[in-house]
Amino acid sequence: MKPLRRILIVGGGSSGWMSAALLARLFQGMYDVTLVESEEIGTIGVGEATIPAIKKYNELLGLEENEFMARTQASFKLGIQFENWLRKDQSYIHGFGVIGQDWEWLRCHHYWLKAHAMGRAEDFAAYSINTAAALENKFVRAQTQMGDSPLAHVAHAFHLDASLFAKFLSGYAQERGVRRVEGKVVDVKLRGEDGFIESVQLADGQVLEADLFLDCSGFRGLLIEGALKTGFVD
């Protein structure tokens, strides 16, 4: 098997630059990472909603949260509200983090299910400190020093500007060795022996080869669908 050395990311935006930044951080020069994107196509500057896993991603990159929020014009997010969830007049709030208090080896939801069957339980979201805080427009970062207090388990994510996030990570990745190529992919060449991708060709005639290709071209799916015809599975 040919050793993995060159990685090509097709497409920028938040997905492309998140991939590039993480590869640059984790492997620190072990691979030649290139990202190709086209200013002609650009990205959509819209708000992007995240889940708490984004904090783990930021920690892996070593990003300071206040700087991250300033650079991406982010706001805190405590959960997700689903309108007309079971029926048109009903909504459900999924608060991030711990809901209720566990007791020994028994989890809160076991108590809630029993009480609910007896008609003695409030709505499940009522036991979420995140939901309660969001409804009152309040926020505090997790107070981990408070032990078993509900305040120790506050979890949060962010709403942010997707284009600013991509720009922020683009600078981060390029400072750590990722090469950016400006260009529009017009053709994908497959290997005859196994049908895997060998290279991509840009509109200016430039050919980019790699050992591993990441398709971050969004709904267009230039590689995974346009070239490989893998099909979409929901």
Map tokens 């990003």 to a residue.
63
Report whether pLDDT(78) > 70: yes
Taken in order 65, 69, 75, 80, the sign of the CA dihedral is negative
Per-residue pLDDT tens digits for 32-62: 999 999 988 766 667 899 999 999 999 999 9
Is residue 60 within a helix (H) or strand (E), and if so which, with residue range? helix 53-61
- Cβ within 8 Å of residue 228, ≥6 positions away: 190, 195, 197
**Which residues are catalytic, by number?**
77
pLDDT of residue 146: 86
Domain residue extents for the chain:
6-48+61-70+163-227, 83-155
Query: Strand pairing of 179-182 and 32-37?
Result: parallel
- What pLDDT was estimated at residue 45? 62
Phi then psi dihedrals of residue 221, to 5 deg: 50, 55
CATH 3.50.50.60 assigned to 6-48+61-70+163-227: yes
Close Cβ partners of 181 (under 8 Å, ≥ 6 residues apart): 34, 35, 36, 37, 202, 206, 208
In the predicted structure, residue 223 carries a pLDDT above the cut 80: yes
CA distances from 152 to 131, 146, 218 (A): 15, 6, 37
Which residues, in sequence order, are bridge partners of residue 9? 35, 214
Percent of the chain with pLDDT over 90: 79
State residue 120's pLDDT score. Answer: 95
- Distance between start and end Cα atoms, the chain: 32
Least confident of 83-87, 107-111, 219-223, 228-232: 228-232
pLDDT tens column, 107-159: 999 999 999 999 999 999 899 999 999 999 999 999 989 887 888 889 999 99
How many angstroms separate the CA atoms of 132 and 128, rounded?
6
- Percent of the chain having pLDDT more than 70? 98
Higher pLDDT, 208 or 41: 208
- What distances in angstroms separate CA 39 from CA 42, 43, 57, one per listed residue? 5, 8, 26
Q: What is the pLDDT of residue 44?
A: 63
Alpha-carbon gap, residue 9 to 210, rounded angstroms: 9
Report pLDDT for 105: 85
For residues 152 and 213, give the distance between their C-alpha atoms in angstroms, rounded to a whole number.
41
Average pLDDT, rounded, for the chain = 93
Model pTM score: 0.90
HEC readout, 170-222: HHHHHHCCCEEEECCEEEEEECCCCCCEEEEEECCCCEEECCEEEECCHHHCH
Average pLDDT over residues 165-171: 97
**Residue 214 pLDDT:** 98
Q: How many CA atoms lie within 13 A of 209 on its CB side?
A: 4
